[in-house]
Chains A and B, each alone.
Chain A
Amino acid sequence: MTAIATTPPNGKAQTLKTTFHRETSVSIEISADPAIIWALLTNASDYPSWNSTVTSIEGNIALGETIKLKSILDAKRIFKLKVKEFEPENRLVWGDSQGNRVYSITNNGKSIFSMTEKIGGIMFPLYAKMIPSFDQSFEQFALDLKKEAEIIMNNK
């Protein structure tokens, strides 16, 4: 079972480390329709307006497309990421050779948003220490998404 399935929806990030991989997850309950959460997650140009962890995203978040993402974690670096899965209002996956970021939304009366990123590989032990912790930015991402989605949901 991966961390994403077990992380409680309390907005607190959890990180699992092994020799060759590191996996960070966060989950949070959002009082908003999954359509709103999905729209926020897939509208690239709007990210900086609500998400304080993302500086910019260029490109179209759609299956098979490549996006260019700038994050506060490494301001000088542009991450080129391919959208690998795109199931509206349910699951979004993008990533590169280093790892994948998985977003999921479940709704059983309440919307639960979860996000996990697994990075690693055989060379991982050589550079693991150079990669900053994702915990804080994951928690902020989830909090920003919750805040924006609930503002939109409560609009009359």
Chain B
Amino acid sequence: MTVELFNQEFEDIISHLKSYILRITASLADTEDIVQDTYLKALDKLHTFRGESSLKTWLFTIASNMAKDNLKAQKRWVENVTDITREAALTNKEFFREAMNIRMTSPNGQYEAKEHIAFCFTCISKSLPLEQQLCVFLKEVYEFKVAEIASILNTNEAMVKYYLHAGRSKMISIFDGRCALINKEGICHQCSELNGIFNPKQNTQKELMKIDLVKEAQKGDKEHLFDLRMNILKEIDPINSKASELQLHHLEHNRQVMEKYL
């Protein structure tokens, strides 16, 4: 593969690569570093790329290896991360002042419940063991096949299937117990609560009902609801979306709170 073709294809893949690493590290700065190092390493080893896998699989392999060595990626959070970080945010005036400033001034400062649903999944997924988190994202969001994930993570297909099953089951169970969007008894209303703060003129319920996950919640098919949640993540680029700056501010806050908490 020529350097020119590599650069062209890298441009097509970079947004997926960035969002993947961001969702694993919860740090934009570390994401930028890892993606840059992935590019440099791939360029350096380009002569060894024989096309046995797709370039996307090869780049995700390099990036995943770097992510696995990254301390922020290795750090595991807790299932109730959003409860703990909410409490911390409520006593942190600077957090809300900055959030409101972003909301008012940034072109990427809108608040959308959908974006917060994706953000929430990112935070809670960090309570899974790292292998399970990587497998869930690679399969459910970035749509790699089991054999490709085994290659990316240097493991066998059986273990990928186990990690996927265990990770997916845990996430379904956590959201079923917590998320008020799909369970009336759920204790977390954060996406609607924040919508009330950032979009006070909106009818929050009406906005939420535009989301398939919410519309179909009453049917109660947990597996299907998980797939709908994954569709939301697939649609959103957390680094360039309309709400990205606001959500990245929130993510940075949550990571700092978790680093102190754990």
A43 touches B166 (CB 8 A): yes
A156 beta carbon closer than 8 Å to chain B: yes
A63 beta carbon closer than 8 Å to chain B: no
A153 touches B161 (CB 8 A): yes
Q: A43-B166, A46-B166 are in contact. Are A155 and B161 (CB under 8 A)?
A: yes
How many angstroms from the CA of A100 to the CA of B158 in the assembled complex? 29
How many angstroms from the CA of A151 to the CA of B173 in the assembled complex? 17
Report the minimal beta-carbon distance from B194 to chain A, rounded to whole angstroms. Answer: 31
Contacting residue for A39 out of B157, B162, B169, CB 8 A: B162
B146 beta carbon closer than 8 Å to chain A: yes
A155 touches B164 (CB 8 A): yes
A152 touches B146 (CB 8 A): no
Report the minimal beta-carbon distance from A69 to chain B, rounded to whole angstroms. Answer: 19
A36 touches B158 (CB 8 A): yes
Question: How many A-B contacts are there with CB distance less than 8 Å?
Answer: 34
Q: How many residues of B contact A (CB 8 A)?
A: 13
Q: Which residues of A contact B159 (CB under 8 A)?
A: 35-36, 39
B158 touches A156 (CB 8 A): no
Report the minimal beta-carbon distance from B173 to chain A, rounded to whole angstroms. Answer: 7
A152 touches B162 (CB 8 A): yes
Q: A35-B156, A49-B169 are in contact. Are A40 and B146 (CB under 8 A)?
A: no
A155 touches B156 (CB 8 A): no
Report the minimal beta-carbon distance from B252 to chain A, rounded to whole angstroms. Answer: 29
Report the minimal beta-carbon distance from A57 to chain B, rounded to whole angstroms. Answer: 14
How many angstroms from the CA of A76 to the CA of B164 in the assembled complex? 33
Q: Which residues of B contact A151 (CB under 8 A)?
A: 165
A69-119 contacts to B, CB under 8 A, are: none
Q: How many residues of A contact B (CB 8 A)?
A: 14
Report the minimal beta-carbon distance from A40 to chain B, rounded to whole angstroms. Answer: 7
Report the minimal beta-carbon distance from B101 to chain A, rounded to whole angstroms. Answer: 41
In the complex, per-residue mask of B133-170: 1 if CB is within 8 Å of any chain A CB, else 0: 00000000000001000000000111101101110011
B86-143 contacts to A, CB under 8 A, are: none
In the complex, per-residue mask of A42-55: 1 if CB is within 8 Å of any chain B CB, else 0: 01001001000000
B146 touches A156 (CB 8 A): yes
A135 beta carbon closer than 8 Å to chain B: no
Q: Which residues of A contact B165 (CB under 8 A)?
A: 151-152, 155
A144 beta carbon closer than 8 Å to chain B: no
How many angstroms from the CA of A151 to the CA of B161 in the assembled complex? 10
A: which residues have CB within 8 A of B?
32-33, 35-36, 39-40, 43, 46, 49, 151-153, 155-156
Q: Which 8 A-B pairs have the closest CB atoms?
A: A33-B158, A35-B158, A39-B162, A152-B165, A36-B158, A36-B162, A152-B161, A155-B161
> Can you name 9 A-B pairs with beta carbons within 8 Å?
A39-B162, A40-B162, A43-B166, A46-B166, A46-B170, A151-B165, A153-B161, A155-B164, A156-B146
